[in-house]
Chains A and B, each alone.
Chain A
């Protein structure tokens, strides 16, 4: 069985780390041949990471590829040649990966890591999709009205890719439920354990003793976020105000994460800065302008650290009293695990994926309703002065939930699909 593991767009961060772990997982099964597909323009950017994996598993083949867009008529003509029966063609355009040689047709199964396909996939081979989340179901702002209005647009097509996938793989019950009822995958949905990849973090954490940080000398908590709209910034600012005004909060707030310094109303950004686009984004501007209007005098208690190095981040968390994780939806965030590894309590907005992480890693998270500003402020005040506590079982659980925890199920299912006759497709 030859499997193509395809990264459909230029992901970085969590999704790319997941992709690397999937490479390791598939490559560790010697009975499989693995071909890794990465967008042509991205291969050089990730060469270092790929080389590292290559050293672990020399049996992988890496190919650069591009997506080719095909009109409906072309797809109608091609698919019968590959034994694929489609009853209705309902899309105007489709996409297929081309690598300039075999175009992955030498593979028996395609496994796409994420559902972000702008057009429906031409299913020349049976395929699976790794669905990280359907964030847009809970935070529609990330797409905007026009995308939902356009029946041929990407918002619709992302779901079509999942609908016809022979296999959808998820890591949380919440996302499994979304795949079942939102994108409506017609075939198998498989849940595998969430894996955590914070080895680098733990390594840095273990190397240094408790260190100081330069952000503030005052006692503080740390709010880990970024500039994405699903991070619930405006409600968090309101909660911070209530924390100070109604709960006599004593802690400063250090805000870390990519782009968070752009929320600082006092930041003067250079005109030629590469971050001008983000700075000027409507939502980022709205949050920045709201800092003063919502917080008033309390704005001085917020320290916008922005993106910091691993060691700086560890110092900030080590010196904090607790960590705040406040998002409307995602597939689970590891900052709370990192906090637990450093013995700091954490509070989290309440959604299924965080409940699952909490249970899986025994984190003892303090949950709050992301829409309830009063509750958010109350939990902040309750966590003040909470003692540092190291969960002795955490290290063991972190080690347990690496990619090694993925058993044979995915491979077995792929083998089964790859060797079975192709299913007919009702609508493509």
Chain B
């Protein structure tokens, strides 16, 4: 394989495609949960970077009619609604295609909506009755002799609502199973026909229909993390299937992008035949800078408090957080999903020590859904941390940015990342220092001097993480000052550079 070669890059950058296609092979419900995902954030900034490349005339994202509004929302300019004129780039258009015929899709959508409606009605009956157990008891009583007319009528109404709704829901589910599901192979075909001579960027190597796109295929392999860290819930067969798909898609590519040498040399090494490996190019990230807030610190904190209370009004932790005075909260923040290599268990143990041993009156805000992981949920309950660890997962971009802005520090405890974590530049740009792990994603981008500071820790060593967090808490301004210089240096690389290196022939 070949490393980034400055001379070769410069030569190739002279020619860029006129049309760039972004291939996203995700169903609608997954897309709806994608906002804030690393892949989507990369694409957003990549597409914005294309704005400064006059040779590229248009960027298209093909999708189904149903997915189109969601796609527009994902690629909308911050704070905008997602109409075509308010996407992250004026060159971008979201192009909707019918997979199976619009009437079939309409039928599918109608059935889906009806099912959701019926389920909501049944849920509200369950809630008002009090519990499933009570609901069962009520159903039993339906066939008993009623004592009063009122009771009889109540039971009758309940049985009509519940039985009818249950029966209808069952029928609609049966029908839905018979309606053909959208097929991405059809979409790939239609997209290829509509946009010939397009350079397709396929950001995930398991989106196998990307390999069938006509035109030039640029496949990104952000990581093959499972080759270094075990993944929960996956058997060997699943991983092998995953690997096979990666190889298949990579083989079909004209160019393969990795965000770091570590991924190329450690995770991909040996997987692809030599003639395929030679197509790999390392294209590191540029820093991400989210917009600043125009309101004052105080107003922003009030807004943060309101938004968090709103967020928790429906979460199961709402009995404690629905009216919590978040405005006065001091906290350390970890912005990361729950994955084994994200090191959450260790950071929770460290936080436990910081709170209890070092008696720092500070909370831990995480963006991962810790309760979805049995081990982490158990730890939180056993250690009684449920009131001090705040799980603000799947929050919108605005709330996320406010959380970063008002944190005492951001901690990046991950054991691995495919490229330099976006959170580093993002937090420093917001005026929040960052404590981070010494991993290849950082060591490839930062100098030894920049890595020598006490804000860098060994992610395998709880003591190291603990000491680092305490140090940064006590020396915020000093650390922030130093990190601003680092981000300034990193910002010499722009997303236009990234786009150019990805797209260049």
* A residues in contact (CB < 8 Å) with B: 88, 90-91, 136-138, 140, 143, 145-146, 148-149, 151-152, 155-156, 159-160, 163, 174, 177-178, 180-182, 184, 186, 328-329, 351-352, 369-371, 426-427
B12 interface contact, C-beta 8 A: no
Which positions 324-365 of chain B face chain A at CB distance < 8 Å? 324-325, 328-330, 353, 355-357, 359, 361, 363
B residues less than 8 Å from A149 (CB atoms): 381, 386
Would you list the 7 A-B pairs with minimal beta carbon distance, nearest first? A140-B384, A427-B323, A426-B323, A145-B382, A177-B361, A145-B381, A149-B381
B residues less than 8 Å from A148 (CB atoms): 380-382, 384, 386
Q: Is the CB of A145 within 8 A of B357?
A: no
B residues less than 8 Å from A184 (CB atoms): 323-325
Q: Is the CB of B356 within 8 A of A182?
A: no
Q: Is the CB of B325 within 8 A of A90?
A: no
B111 interface contact, C-beta 8 A: no
Q: Of the candidates B320, B322, B357, B383, which one forms a contact with A140 in the assembled complex, judged by CB atoms under 8 Å apart?
A: B383
Excluding A140-B382, A156-B319, 8 further A-B contacts by CB distance (< 8 Å) are A88-B322, A90-B322, A140-B383, A151-B319, A186-B323, A352-B359, A426-B322, A426-B323
Q: A145-B381, A180-B328, A369-B357 are in contact. Are A159 and B387 (CB under 8 A)?
A: yes
B398 interface contact, C-beta 8 A: no
Shortest B370–chain A CB gap in Å is 13
Q: Is the CB of B382 within 8 A of A152?
A: no
> Nearest A residue to B317 by beta-carbon distance?
A151
The count of residues in chain B whose C-beta lies closer than 8 Å to any C-beta of chain A is: 29
A68–B439 CA distance with the chains assembled, in angstroms: 58
A residues less than 8 Å from B378 (CB atoms): 145
Shortest A304–chain B CB gap in Å is 28
* B residues in contact (CB < 8 Å) with A: 316-320, 322-325, 328-330, 353, 355-357, 359, 361, 363, 378, 380-388
A residues less than 8 Å from B320 (CB atoms): 151, 156, 159-160
Q: A145-B381, A149-B381, A181-B363 are in contact. Are A163 and B323 (CB under 8 A)?
A: yes
Q: Of the candidates B318, B324, B329, B353, which one forms a contact with A90 in the assembled complex, judged by CB atoms under 8 Å apart?
A: B318
Q: Of the candidates B319, B328, B382, which one forms a contact with A181 in the assembled complex, judged by CB atoms under 8 Å apart?
A: B328
Q: Is the CB of A91 within 8 A of B387?
A: no
CB<8 Å pairs between A and B, sample of 25: A88-B322, A90-B318, A90-B322, A137-B355, A137-B384, A137-B387, A140-B384, A143-B384, A145-B381, A148-B381, A148-B384, A148-B386, A149-B381, A149-B386, A151-B317, A151-B320, A156-B319, A160-B320, A163-B324, A174-B359, A181-B328, A184-B324, A186-B325, A370-B357, A426-B323
> Nearest B residue to A146 by beta-carbon distance?
B381
A residues less than 8 Å from B363 (CB atoms): 181
Shortest A368–chain B CB gap in Å is 12
A residues less than 8 Å from B328 (CB atoms): 180-181
Q: Is the CB of B384 within 8 A of A136?
A: yes
A136–B388 CA distance with the chains assembled, in angstroms: 12
Which has the most chain B C-beta neighbours within 10 Å: A138, A155, A427? A427
Which has the most chain B C-beta neighbours within 10 Å: A136, A145, A159, A163? A145
Shortest B115–chain A CB gap in Å is 29
Q: Is the CB of B323 within 8 A of A328?
A: no
> Nearest B residue to A353 by beta-carbon distance?
B359
Q: Is the CB of B357 within 8 A of A371?
A: yes
A401–B378 CA distance with the chains assembled, in angstroms: 44
Q: Is the CB of A181 within 8 A of B330?
A: yes
A155–B357 CA distance with the chains assembled, in angstroms: 22
A41–B150 CA distance with the chains assembled, in angstroms: 43
B residues less than 8 Å from A152 (CB atoms): 319
> Nearest B residue to A152 by beta-carbon distance?
B319
Shortest B24–chain A CB gap in Å is 38
B residues less than 8 Å from A352 (CB atoms): 359
Q: Is the CB of B361 within 8 A of A328?
A: no
A148–B387 CA distance with the chains assembled, in angstroms: 9
A residues less than 8 Å from B325 (CB atoms): 180, 184, 186
A151–B357 CA distance with the chains assembled, in angstroms: 26
A371–B316 CA distance with the chains assembled, in angstroms: 34
Shortest A147–chain B CB gap in Å is 8
Q: Is the CB of B384 within 8 A of A151?
A: no
A residues less than 8 Å from B386 (CB atoms): 148-149
A residues less than 8 Å from B384 (CB atoms): 136-137, 140, 143, 145, 148, 155
B residues less than 8 Å from A371 (CB atoms): 353, 357
A186–B323 CA distance with the chains assembled, in angstroms: 9
Q: A149-B381, A328-B356, A371-B357 are in contact. Are A181 and B323 (CB under 8 A)?
A: no
A residues less than 8 Å from B383 (CB atoms): 140
Q: Of the candidates A146, A151, A178, which one forms a contact with B361 in the assembled complex, judged by CB atoms under 8 Å apart?
A: A178
A415–B361 CA distance with the chains assembled, in angstroms: 32
Q: Is the CB of B381 within 8 A of A427?
A: no
A180–B363 CA distance with the chains assembled, in angstroms: 12
A88–B313 CA distance with the chains assembled, in angstroms: 10
A residues less than 8 Å from B324 (CB atoms): 163, 184
A residues less than 8 Å from B319 (CB atoms): 90-91, 151-152, 156, 160
> Nearest A residue to B356 by beta-carbon distance?
A138
A residues less than 8 Å from B323 (CB atoms): 163, 184, 186, 426-427
> Nearest B residue to A142 by beta-carbon distance?
B384
A160–B356 CA distance with the chains assembled, in angstroms: 22
A residues less than 8 Å from B385 (CB atoms): 140
A residues less than 8 Å from B322 (CB atoms): 88, 90, 426-427
Shortest B431–chain A CB gap in Å is 22
Which has the most chain A C-beta neighbours within 10 Å: B316, B330, B361, B383? B361
Shortest B335–chain A CB gap in Å is 21
A151–B385 CA distance with the chains assembled, in angstroms: 13
> Nearest B residue to A178 by beta-carbon distance?
B361
B residues less than 8 Å from A178 (CB atoms): 361
A41–B382 CA distance with the chains assembled, in angstroms: 34
Shortest B238–chain A CB gap in Å is 32
Q: Of the candidates A151, A159, A174, A351, which one forms a contact with B316 in the assembled complex, judged by CB atoms under 8 Å apart?
A: A151
Shortest A229–chain B CB gap in Å is 12
Q: Is the CB of A182 within 8 A of B387?
A: yes
Shortest A100–chain B CB gap in Å is 31
Shortest B311–chain A CB gap in Å is 14
> Nearest A residue to B313 by beta-carbon distance?
A88
> Nearest B residue to A155 by beta-carbon distance?
B384
A151–B319 CA distance with the chains assembled, in angstroms: 7
A163–B322 CA distance with the chains assembled, in angstroms: 11
A367–B194 CA distance with the chains assembled, in angstroms: 76
A352–B357 CA distance with the chains assembled, in angstroms: 11
> Nearest B residue to A120 by beta-carbon distance?
B319
A residues less than 8 Å from B357 (CB atoms): 369-371
Q: Of the candidates B359, B382, B388, which one forms a contact with A182 in the assembled complex, judged by CB atoms under 8 Å apart?
A: B388
> Nearest B residue to A164 by beta-carbon distance?
B323
> Nearest B residue to A185 by beta-carbon distance?
B325
Shortest B192–chain A CB gap in Å is 52
Q: Is the CB of A181 within 8 A of B381?
A: no
Shortest B407–chain A CB gap in Å is 15
B residues less than 8 Å from A182 (CB atoms): 387-388
A146–B381 CA distance with the chains assembled, in angstroms: 7
